[in-house]
Amino acid sequence: MKRAFAMTGAVALLAATALTAAPALAEDVITLGASVQMTGATANTGRYYRDAYQMAVDKINAAGGVKVGGKTYKLALKMLDNQSNVNLSVRQYVQLISGDKVNFLLGPFASNFVISDSSVAEKYQIPMVQGGGSSGQIFSRGYKYVFGTLPPAGNYYASTIEMMSKLNPAPKTVALVAADDSFDVSVAKGTRKLLEKAGMKIAVDQEYREGNSDFSSILTQVKAAKVDTVLWSGHETEALNFIRQMKQLNVDPNGMYAFTVGVPTSDFRKALGADANYAFGMTTWLPDASLKDKWFGDAAQFAKEYKAKFGYDPDYHAASGAADVETYVYAIEKAGSLDPKKVRDAIAASNFQSLYAQVKYAPNGQIDLPQIVVQIQKGELKPIYTTQFINKPDYPVPAWSKR
C-alpha cells in the first residue's frame, strides 16, 4: 500500500508539471508570477483571480503598458495551477522566483495559502501583492514583502453587528458557526470580541472541519438553543450545505442569519433558487460607477467587460485581484525601477483610486475597508448597511414553513 501511494503521488506530480505552460519571455517585459486555484476544491473562487489578473494585465498593456525611467514595459503574467493544494502552491512560488525569474508576485486565493506562500516571498525578498487572504495571521508576523487588498478577517462582522443593534427587535442571542481554517478562525475570534462589546450573548459557539458537508448536529444544537441570529463563517460550498440543511431541519432563528462568503456571488443564488432569499452576507465591493479607475473607467464598466469576457459576474475577489495588478503599475512607475526593494517601498506608500477601492496599505501591509452588509431579497442582491441603512432589510426573516 505504501508503495502504491508513493507511486500515485509521483504520477500526480508528473501530470502537474506537464500542465504548466512555457513562459513568454521577450525584451522589456515585467513578469508577474502567481499560483492560483484553477482546479480542485476552491477552483470556483480561484477563477476570479485567474480571470481578473489576466484581464487587468491585458487592459494595462492595451493602454500602453508601464513606464519606467523613459522606457515602456509590457506586463506579462506567469500563472500556475496549484490544484487547491497548499504544498504545491509553495513549491510553485519557489519555482516562479528561482526558476522562472518573475519580477513580482501576485497572490493565490484564501488565507491558508497566503500564509504559507508569503513566506516564500519574504524569504526571497520579492513583493507579493495579494487579494485573496485576509487572516490576521498573515500580517502579524512582521513581514515586509506581503501586501493584502482584503480587509482584516476579524472585522468582517463589524458592520453586521452594528446593524443588528439598530434592528427592531435587536437580536440578543447569537449562534456562531465557523470553519477551522486560518481565515475562519480569525473571523470567529474577532466576532466573539465584537459580540461581547455589543452586549450580545453567544449561545452556541461551534467550530467545524473545513470541507465538512453535514451540519445536522450543529443545526440541531442551534435549533435547541432558540437563538435570535446565526453568524456563519466558512467557504461557499459549505454555506450552500448549511442553508439547505437549515431548511431540511426547520431551523428558524428568530431574527436573521448571515454568512461571510457566498451571498454576493451569482452562483450562490443560482444554486439555491428561492431558498437564497433573506440570507444576509457581506462584500467589500459592489460594481458601482462611483469607483473611478484609470484603466477601466469605473467599477461598473469593469463588471460589464468582465461579464462579457468570461461569462459570469465578478465579485469582490475579482475586483481585489485587479487592484493587486494596478498596485504594481502605480508602484513601479513611482519607483522608476524594477528593483524589488524600491518597488516594495513604493507599494507601502500606495494611495490611489481604483475600481476596487481607495488603495492604501496600513503599516502591516493590509488594506482596511468597511464591509457592506448585503441581503438577497426576491432573488436580487441588495446593499443594506454600511454605517447607516442603504435599503430596508427584510427583518425578521420569516420561518421556512411560512415562505
The single residue among 41, 198, 202, 362 that binds another protein, judged by CB under 8 A, is 41
Q: Taking the C-alpha atoms of 125, 131, 134 and 135 in order, what is their torsion angle to the nearest 10 degrees?
A: -40
Check: CB of residue 237 under 8 Å from CB of residue 259. Answer: no
In the complex, least distance from residue 267 CB atom to another protein, rounded to whole angstroms: 6
Q: The C-alpha cell of 246 is what?
A: 437549515
Strands 66-68, 104-106: pairing is unpaired
In the complex, least distance from residue 237 CB atom to another protein, rounded to whole angstroms: 5
In the complex, least distance from residue 336 CB atom to another protein, rounded to whole angstroms: 41
254 part of the interface to another protein, by CB under 8 A: no
Which region, judged by CB under 8 A, interacts with another protein, from 120-128, 187-195, 209-217, 351-359?
Answer: 209-217
Helix axes 316-335 and 299-310, enclosed angle (nearest 10): 110
For the beta carbon of residue 207, count every other beta carbon within 10 angstroms.
15
- DSSP letter for each residue of 32-85: EEEEE-SSSTTHHHHHHHHHHHHHHHHHHHHTT-EEETTEEEEEEEEEEE-TT-
In the complex, least distance from residue 276 CB atom to another protein, rounded to whole angstroms: 10
189 part of the interface to another protein, by CB under 8 A: no
User: Between 57 and 96, how does the x/- string for binding to another protein read (CB under 8 A)?
Assistant: ---------------------------x------------
Residue list 162-181, contact with another protein (CB under 8 A) = 180
Which region, judged by CB under 8 A, interacts with another protein, from 59-67, 96-104, 226-234, 265-273?
Answer: 265-273
Residues facing residue 30 across a β-bridge? 75
Residue list 338-397, contact with another protein (CB under 8 A) = none
Q: Taking the C-alpha atoms of 363, 367, 369 and 374 in order, what is their torsion angle to the nearest 10 degrees?
A: -150
Check: CB of residue 78 under 8 Å from CB of residue 31. Answer: yes
The single residue among 207, 305, 333, 345 that binds another protein, judged by CB under 8 A, is 207
In the complex, least distance from residue 244 CB atom to another protein, rounded to whole angstroms: 7
Judged by CB under 8 A, the number of residues near another protein is: 49
Residue list 3-32, contact with another protein (CB under 8 A) = 3-4, 7-8, 11-12, 15
Using the 8-state DSSP alphabet, how is residue 176 labeled? E
The amino acid occupying position 300 is A
Q: Which ranges of 282-355 does DSSP label H, i.e. alpha helix?
A: 299-310, 316-335, 340-348
The amino acid occupying position 225 is A
188 part of the interface to another protein, by CB under 8 A: no
The single residue among 17, 165, 248, 391 that binds another protein, judged by CB under 8 A, is 248
The amino acid occupying position 69 is G
Helix axes 236-248 and 43-62, enclosed angle (nearest 10): 140
The single residue among 58, 100, 267, 313 that binds another protein, judged by CB under 8 A, is 267
What sign does the CA torsion over 155, 156, 157, 163 have?
A: positive
The single residue among 220, 289, 360, 399 that binds another protein, judged by CB under 8 A, is 220
In the complex, least distance from residue 153 CB atom to another protein, rounded to whole angstroms: 18
Residues facing residue 176 across a β-bridge? 205, 231
145 part of the interface to another protein, by CB under 8 A: no
Q: Which is nearer to another protein, 66 or 251 (CB)?
A: 251
In the complex, least distance from residue 355 CB atom to another protein, rounded to whole angstroms: 25
Q: Which is nearer to another protein, 139 or 208 (CB)?
A: 208
Residues engaged in binding another protein (CB under 8 A)? 1, 3-4, 7-8, 11-12, 15, 39-41, 43-44, 47, 84, 180, 206-209, 211-218, 220-221, 223-224, 236-237, 240-241, 244-245, 247-250, 267, 270-273, 275, 400
